[in-house]
């Protein structure tokens, strides 16, 4: 499973990237706002840190304007994935940008039929938003499972990018179902390393070690 970091915070990306667990980055207009940085500048910086796909989102609503924005964003670096919303115009833009050889991440997906259309339109990634479905009492994880089954039925190459991951359980379930990628905020990825029994076990080992009076270095 590939891990993308869902942030435009350069320091957080560097920290996780140094650990070797980062396969890509996703950003969106809200994350750009949070970073307080210029979209072109911060996206360029991120593409220089991470070699995998870095999603940068268009903000136009009409297909021809999305395509123009997508082309501009794609010029930032070779590893840009242009992010377009799952609207009719977004699907048109996806098809054009894909045919031009760009990676396209179709975002704001909330149904399996939307995901099916995105795959038909040639999306590189489809981003179903798990957390936002859970927020309104729907089953985000079932959507990942449904898309997995449909894509496998027809050997679609579009990768399922589980998005809006809010908890470590979301990460675990997405991996168990077979999502190709997950994008999660840095704190969720860091929490995946934690377990109280690890902390307790380490404390006991170190306490016993001190009693031996030995040193390794």
Q: Is 2 a catalytic residue?
A: no
Pair 143, 112: CB distance under 8 Å: yes
Q: Which of residues 3-22 bind ligand E4P (CB under 6 A)?
A: 6
d(C-alpha 72, C-alpha 68), whole Å: 6
d(C-alpha 208, C-alpha 4), whole Å: 39
In the complex, least distance from residue 163 CB atom to ligand E4P, rounded to whole angstroms: 4
> Binding of ligand E4P at residue 37 (CB under 6 A)?
no
Measured from the CB atom, the residue of 24 and 122 that comes closer to ligand E4P is: 24
Instruction: Please report how the helices 10-18 and 39-49 are oriented relative to each other, as an axis angle in degrees rounded to 10.
Output: 10
> Binding of ligand E4P at residue 52 (CB under 6 A)?
no
Task: Provide the mask over 157-196, with x wherever binding to ligand E4P is found by CB under 6 A and - wherever it is not.
Answer: ------xx-x----------------x-------------
In the complex, least distance from residue 192 CB atom to ligand E4P, rounded to whole angstroms: 16
Q: Which of residues 72-111 bind ligand E4P (CB under 6 A)?
A: 107
In the complex, least distance from residue 209 CB atom to ligand E4P, rounded to whole angstroms: 42
Q: Which of residues 113-152 bind ligand E4P (CB under 6 A)?
A: 127, 129, 131-132
Pair 98, 131: CB distance under 8 Å: no
Q: Where are the beta strands (DSSP E) in the chain?
A: 2-6, 24-26, 54-57, 80-85, 103-109, 125-128, 159-162, 181-184
Rule CB under 6 A: choose which of 22, 25, 26, 58 binds ligand E4P. 26
- DSSP category for residue 158: P
d(C-alpha 23, C-alpha 42), whole Å: 18
35, two tokens: 């970073």
Measured from the CB atom, the residue of 63 and 163 that comes closer to ligand E4P is: 163
Beta bridge partners of 126: 106, 160
Beta bridge partners of 159: 125
Residue of 83, 120, 190, 215 with catalytic role: 83
Measured from the CB atom, the residue of 30 and 149 that comes closer to ligand E4P is: 30
Q: Which residues bind ligand E4P (CB under 6 A)?
A: 6, 26, 28, 107, 127, 129, 131-132, 163-164, 166, 183
Active site residues: 83
């Amino acid at each position: 499973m590939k891990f993308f970091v869902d942030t435009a915070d350069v320091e957080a990306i560097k920290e996780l990237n140094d650990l070797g667990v980062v396969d890509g980055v996703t950003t969106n207009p809200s994350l750009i706002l949070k970073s307080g940085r210029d979209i072109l500048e911060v996206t360029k910086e991120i593409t220089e840190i991470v070699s995998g796909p870095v999603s940068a989102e268009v903000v136009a609503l009409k297909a021809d304007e999305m395509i123009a924005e997508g082309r501009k964003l794609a010029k930032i670096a070779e590893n840009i994935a242009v992010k377009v919303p799952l609207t009719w115009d977004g699907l048109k833009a996806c098809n054009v940008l894909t045919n031009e050889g760009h990676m396209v991440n179709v975002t704001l997906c909330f149904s399996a039929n939307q995901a099916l259309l995105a795959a038909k339109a040639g999306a590189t990634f489809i981003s179903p938003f798990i957390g936002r479905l859970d927020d309104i009492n729907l089953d985000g994880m079932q959507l990942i499972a449904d898309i997995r089954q449909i894509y496998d039925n027809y050997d679609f190459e579009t990768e399922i990018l589980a998005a809006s991951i809010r908890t470590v359980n979301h990460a675990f379930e997405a991996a168990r179902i077979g999502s190709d990628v997950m994008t999660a905020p840095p704190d969720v990825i860091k929490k995946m390393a934690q377990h109280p029994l690890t902390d307790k076990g380490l404390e006991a080992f170190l306490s016993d070690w001190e009693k031996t009076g030995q040193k390794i270095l």
